Amino acid sequence: MRLLVVGGGGREHALCWTFRRENPDADLYCAPGNPGTAQIAHNLPMAADDLDRIADAADAYGIDLTVIGPEVPLARGLADRLRAEGRAVFGPSAAAAQIEASKAFAKEVMAAAGVPTASSRTFTALEPALAWVGRHPEPLVVKASGLAAGKGAVVCSDRREAAIAVREMLGQGAFGEAGRTVVIESFLEGEEVSVFAITDGRDVVLLPAAQDHKRLLEGDEGPNTGGMGAYSPVALATPALLERAQREILEPTLEEMRRRECRFSGVLYAGLMVDRSGSPSVVEFNCRFGDPETQVVLPLVSSGLTDCLWQVARGVAPTSVVSASSEHAVTTVLAAEGYPDAPKKGAAITIPDALPAGVTVFHAGTALDGDGVLRVNGGRVLTVTAVGPSLEEARALSRSTGESIGFEGKVFRRDIGWREAARSTAG
């Protein structure tokens, strides 16, 4: 089998790692990949959203299955392009990827499907948006509708802050095209959980649920980031909650997508807010695997992921994956100085030769220089995943390994999984 993973972050390293583990003899390619994927796959030096080059590479290497990691190539139609050339692809069409690439569209779909989510209004003109903000209860959330690398949502404690965010997006062009349409929504109280549904557009296979840590600083303070760490499983995501999410959220959404003739096939990522009464509602949908959640979810899948993605890519209903029921995974993101606003590149990275058992270091923003020195080359540099028999063991191992990896300006959180730890202490 010849497999191609599109993308070059920690998520794609974790995908390659899983495919290698399940298919020791497969020909595995990653475009563009990173120094981590280079150890287990052939990196193809081309941008993940260069549709022509990726289509040519799929042809040249006779790729049987392409798995697309990031949202940008999906929203630009990479899956459509490859499918039109007769290839099996795991990832939604551009039309279906709108569920992430247009929050305004996602809100329409949810409204039509009766899926619980924050009440919202969509605006393209500044004055009506400001007038709405002036009447909206506080706190409130202002979101650029388009793709903004996870930075387009501004949680505002009062109307004044919201008016500033609206002016920046609709008045001053912050986020460019992505901010020309703005969604203003009410604030949801509760705790977040990320649910991954592998689907052919109708049938659903759920992977273990995860919890991300979006804020930069310990105790969930500071600015929003792409994610500073994650753990799985999450006690909050009980079988009953997941069953409810499937019935009340995922299935109606998929049905509405079919009704609109943009059937969603791939992985539908539901970012859920679970309120005090245990009811889930949707904070956001993504059209792809989460990063860094993938780096904890996939190590808990003991077999069957390749088959499952392969089935969906061929338009067949997915059969379930096998998950390690008694293990816990925690990943800690090591970020560059200045992340998320202006990450500083170039620092040399040292990783201990012998890593503890149960630990995998996934590369994201790293690059080898001409002398073979591994250097910081992006905001999120590495994600350190530890798998252990208990949450506490996995937390300690992920944290201590993160501490043992060195580069100047390293920023990381030592408290990944704190909510879960507090829950188990309380329970």
Q: Which residues bind ligand AMP (CB under 6 A)?
A: 118, 141, 143, 150, 152-153, 155, 185, 187-188, 192, 214, 224, 271, 283-284
Stretch that binds ligand GLY, among 56-64, 289-297, 319-327, 402-410 (CB under 6 A): 289-297
Ranges within 217-256 binding ligand GLY (CB under 6 A): 227
DSSP 176: G
Measured from the CB atom, is 63 or 101 closer to ligand GLY?
101
Measured from the CB atom, is 275 or 369 closer to ligand AMP?
275
Helix (H) or strand (E) holding 168: none
Q: Does 200 bind ligand GLY (CB under 6 A)?
A: no
Contact with ligand GLY (CB under 6 A) among 80, 192, 256, 293: 293
CB of 294 to ligand GLY, least distance (A): 8
Spatial distance between the Cα atoms of 27 and 17, rounded to a whole number of angstroms: 13
Q: Does 12 bind ligand GLY (CB under 6 A)?
A: no
Spatial distance between the Cα atoms of 416 and 424, rounded to a whole number of angstroms: 14
Closest of 346, 348, 337 to residue 380, by C-alpha: 337
Helix (H) or strand (E) holding 160: helix 159-166
Measured from the CB atom, is 189 or 353 closer to ligand AMP?
189
* Binding residue count for ligand GLY, defined by CB under 6 A: 7
What are the start-end ranges of the H helices in 177-293?
Answer: 239-245, 251-259
Spatial distance between the Cα atoms of 128 and 30, rounded to a whole number of angstroms: 46
Report the Cα 19 to chain-centroid distance in Å: 18
Measured from the CB atom, is 290 or 299 closer to ligand GLY?
290
DSSP 130: H
Closest of 117, 122, 133, 138 to residue 165, by C-alpha: 133
Stretch that binds ligand GLY, among 182-190, 275-283, 288-296, 399-407 (CB under 6 A): 288-296
Q: What is the DSSP string of 295-315?
A: HHHGGGEEE-HHHHHHHHHTT
Measured from the CB atom, is 55 or 149 closer to ligand GLY?
149
Contacts of residues 93-97 at CB distance under 8 Å and 24 or more positions apart, as own/partner, are 93/262, 93/263, 93/265, 95/261, 95/262, 96/257, 96/262, 96/263, 96/264, 96/265, 96/266, 96/287, 97/71, 97/287
- Residue 190 interacting partner from ligand GLY, ligand AMP, none (CB closer than 5 to 8 Å by kind): none
Measured from the CB atom, is 248 or 291 closer to ligand GLY?
291
Site string for ligand GLY, 144-173 (x = CB under 6 A): ------x-----------------------
Q: Does 212 bind ligand GLY (CB under 6 A)?
A: yes
- Residue 192 interacting partner from ligand AMP, ligand GLY, none (CB closer than 5 to 8 Å by kind): ligand AMP
CB of 284 to ligand GLY, least distance (A): 8
Residue 385: helix, strand or coil by DSSP? Answer: strand
Q: Does 290 bind ligand GLY (CB under 6 A)?
A: yes
- Residue 49 interacting partner from ligand AMP, ligand GLY, none (CB closer than 5 to 8 Å by kind): none
Cβ neighbours of residue 164 closer than 8 Å, sequence gap 6 or more: none
Measured from the CB atom, is 283 or 397 closer to ligand AMP?
283
Measured from the CB atom, is 91 or 290 closer to ligand GLY?
290
- Residue 12 interacting partner from ligand AMP, ligand GLY, none (CB closer than 5 to 8 Å by kind): none
Spatial distance between the Cα atoms of 39 and 17, rounded to a whole number of angstroms: 10
Q: State the residue for tokens 């948006």.
A: 129
Q: Does 9 bind ligand GLY (CB under 6 A)?
A: no
Q: Which residues bind ligand GLY (CB under 6 A)?
A: 150, 212, 227, 286, 290-291, 293
